[in-house]
Each structure stands twice: as structure tokens, then as C-alpha cells.
Amino acid sequence: MEMADELQEERRDVQRWGDYGREVKKMGRIAVPMVVVAALQYLMQMVAVIMVGHVDQLALSSLAIATSLTNVTGFSLLSGLVGGLETLCGQAFGAKQHHKIGIYTCSAIISLLLVCIPISISWIFLDKFLILIHQDPEISHEARKYSIYLIPALFFGAIVKPLVRSLQTQSLTLPLLVSSAVVLCFHVPLCWALVFKSKMGGVGAALAFSVSNLFYLILIVFYLKFSSMCKNTSVTISMDAVLGIKEFFRFAIPSAVMICLKWWSLEILILLSGLLPNAKLETSVLSICCCKYTIYLSNQPNDLDITLHYTLRIWSSRKNLICSTRVSNELGAGNPQAAKLAVHTVMFVIVIEAIIVSATVFGCRNYIGKAFSNETEVVSYVASMSPFISLSIITDSLQATISGIARGSGWQHIGAYVNLGAFYLFGVPSGIVLGFPVHLRAKGLWIGIVIGSIIQSTCLSLVTGLTDWQKQAIKAKERISKVSSIVDDDIETRE
């Protein structure tokens, strides 16, 4: 009898490991194309920086400042808001309610286009804001020109991002990979022609980015129009889509808050680094660690416009998408155990991956700074901060993964509250205290980021561990049914 029980337990173990293996394969089919897509999109930004960097220092400085502010105030906001589709489209796809994917996507497009109007107006007056915070007037005016030429890209992005996200929630990632590769091949010669041949400088780079985004939109629409995979998810303007705007914003706003609170906390600390003694050294070191475009209150342009941590986060930024897709699909299908399996699998894989990457970064600590600067002082300073960078890679990986779980499950609002408390009650204040009164300078500011990330990851992990997946599956079913009843009621009213 005992032997039979042992054999049965062994069979269960084999089956369990088999389930994990199949889940890893499913995630791999989503992850690999999306990592490549992220890298290709990153290269589009790099092309502009590289080419404008060969024009003159003024063009490069204005591009760095304009890119930082347009990302913070515009593109990051759109990326955050479109996260609401990860809940709605992902669960609708899992429930095989394919027609609702088109309705949700159209609701998102209408919503984002409306959001773009005040954002674009603020970009027109960008120079006045920069001068207000004591930026160089000449750089400020050039940054305004660059931002104005990015306005078309903002509106194209408001259409492209929902379309792309709806395809991602259906695991249709190969078309996105092909489209991104084609757009990059189109963008490079176009950017070169506008920057150098037409002698438009930074403005030419912005115009090239806008035109390339339009081309990307055309390719995506072409695929949606003629692909048999999308015949049941067509995106058309309808009253149903208008009625769905409220439901979209219910998930979109917390999703945006989750992303923007973390993003803005990093930008705040980078700005504060410009107030430290020897600001150029401190901000250069912090930008290598944080990998952001930076604005200097000292008006000193930085030659480290794009840095290490952003490159590492190309993979990190896609973890949340993998998680949200798998979790939302399974919850929508009414499979709480499968959703739980997906969570366990991705958490295991991410922890292993994060440990390997952070150990590699720590092992290469004496070489990382050399990739971005020839100054011995900068290289040595970066090496001394490597333990904190390595720790932040682990916490970043965890929070990116759990943020995806939150969006896939529909509890983004909890994540928003956690991020608010973690970074603005603990992270940023700790960084300010350690950076200035304690005189740890850039290292102190970065420790503040790490403290915020640790608190964030711990709280989100507890929420995930205590999640009732059966209840989440029921909520997903009710959510889809609720939208159906709203649409049906509207049809009856019109009749």
C-alpha cells in the first residue's frame, strides 16, 4: 500500500514538472519575439541619438532634454494607460469573447486620442517650462522645436499602442516582430536623410520618428485588415466602443499610475543629483545606474544619454507583459489553477534569471563604467555602486513580473497604492536624506531607489501570495458579463 502511494506521488511529481515545462514553452513563445521587438524599438531611439550627436552639442543636448520630458509627460503615460487592455482584452480572449477585443481596443484608441490633446498643447509651451526651471534658453527653444515635431508620433502612438497591445494579449507576436524590423530598416535611412541631407538636425530626427510611427501604424492596420487571425477581433468605431470608455479608464488609470509613479521617482532623484557638489560626476554616475535621459539643473549636457540599466530593462519591461497575458487568458477562460501555475512558473524563472544577471553585473563591476566613460573617477564610482545596481536588478525583475500579474488579474489599483507608498513615503525621502544630510551623494540617492523597490516588491509579493485565484476567475467572468449586459441594454434602448 505504501509503495502504491509512493508511485502515485511520483506520478504526480512528474505531471507537475511536465505542467511547468509546458508553461515555460508557452511563455517562451510570447517572450522571445517581444524581447526582440523591444530591442528594435529601442534601436529606433538610439539611431536618433547617434545621428544627432554628430550634428552639434546644442542639437544633442536639446534632444536629450526633449526626449526625457516627452517620455515622462506623454509616451510613458500612453504606455501606462494602454495597460488597461491587458486586463480587458486578455480576459476576453481567454473567455473566447473575441468580438469584445475589438470593442475594448477601439475604446482605448478613442480614450488615448483624447488624452493626447492636452499633452500636445503642453509640448508647444515646453520651452517656457524649461526656462522656468533654469535651463539654458537656447537649449530650451531647440527642445521645444523637437517636441513639436514629435506631436504626430504621439497621436500615431495613441492608435498603435492599443492595436499592438491587443495583438500581444492574443499571443500574436510574430507580426509585431516583422513589422518592427521593417520599420527600423525604413527609419535608419529616413533619419539619415532628414538629419544630414536635408540639414534639419534634431528636428529631422523627430520628424523621422513621427513618419516611422505612421509607417508602423500602416503595417499593423494592414495585418489586422487582411489576416484571418483577426477576422473576429476587428476594430470599428461604434456606440459600444464609446460606452466602453468608462470601463477602460477604470483599469487604465491605475495601470498608468503604477508605471508613472515608479518612472517619476527615478526622474526626481536624477534631477536632485544636479544639486549635489560636483554635479556632473554625480549625475553621470547616477544616469549610468538608472539609464535615463537626464536634465541638469547646472545646464551641463551629459554625454551618457542612454545608459546600461535601460538596456538590461529591455527584457525586464517585457516580463510584465508575459505575466499579464498568461494570467489574464487563463482567468478569462475560467482556469484559476492554470493562472496560479503561470504565476509560480514565471516567478521561478524570473528569480533565477535575475540572480544570474545581477551576479554578472557585479562580476563585471570594474568594466561597466568603461563602456560609458573614459574618466577614471566615473569608472571607479560606478564600480562602488555595483552592489546596489545588482540588488535593484533583482527587485526590478520581481516588481515588473508582479505588476504584470496585477494587470492580468485586474488589481492594478492595489499596485498603484503600493507604488505610491513605497517610493514617495520611503524611497524618495530616504534617497534625499542619504544623498544630502548623510553626504552619500549619488550613492545615497540610488540607495533610496533600492529601498523603495524592496518595499514595493515585498508588498506586491505578499498580495500575490494571498490572492484567491478562484475568486479572481469569478471576477473575470463577471467583468465580461457586465460589459455584455451594458451593450445589450444600450441596443434595447436604441431599438
Distance CA 323, CA 329 (A): 10
Per-residue pLDDT at 16? 59
293: left (phi over 0), alpha (psi -120 to 50) or beta: beta
Half-sphere exposure of 308 (CA within 13 A, CB side): 25
Domain ranges of the chain: 27-482
Per-residue pLDDT at 213? 95
Per-residue pLDDT at 303? 36
Work out the burial of residue 213: count CB atoms within 10 Å of its CB; fewer than 13 is exposed, 13-18 middle, 19 or more buried: buried
Residue 489's contacts (CB-CB under 8 Å, 6 or more residues apart) are none
- Buried residues in 66-96 as b, exposed as e (16+ CB within 10 A): bbbbbbbbbbbbbbbbbbbbbbbbbbbbbbe
Q: What is the pLDDT along the chain (495 residues), one digit of tens a residue?
A: 554 454 454 445 445 566 777 877 877 778 788 878 888 887 887 788 778 877 776 777 778 778 878 888 899 899 889 999 999 999 999 988 988 999 999 999 999 999 999 999 999 998 898 888 777 788 888 889 999 999 999 999 999 999 999 999 998 889 999 999 999 999 999 999 999 988 888 899 999 999 999 999 999 999 999 988 888 888 888 888 898 899 999 999 999 998 888 878 877 776 677 677 765 555 555 555 554 333 333 333 333 333 444 444 555 556 677 788 889 999 999 999 888 888 888 888 888 888 888 888 888 888 766 665 566 776 787 778 778 878 888 888 888 888 889 888 988 899 999 999 999 999 999 999 998 898 888 788 888 888 998 999 899 999 998 999 999 999 888 887 765 555 545 544 544
Angle (CA) 88-255-272 rounded to 5° is 165
State CA 227 to chain mean position distance.
Answer: 27
Per-residue pLDDT at 485? 53
Query: Which one-letter amino acid corresponds to residue 257?
Result: V
Distance CA 253, CA 237 (A): 22
Q: What is the dihedral of CA 294, 297, 303, 306, to 10 degrees?
A: 0
* DSSP label of 196: I
Per-residue pLDDT at 216? 96
Per-residue pLDDT at 484? 55
Query: Which one-letter amino acid corresponds to residue 59?
Result: A
Distance CA 449, CA 426 (A): 9
* DSSP label of 73: I
Residue 35's contacts (CB-CB under 8 Å, 6 or more residues apart) are 314, 315, 318
Q: Are 93 and 324 in contact (CB under 8 A)?
A: no
pTM of structure: 0.82
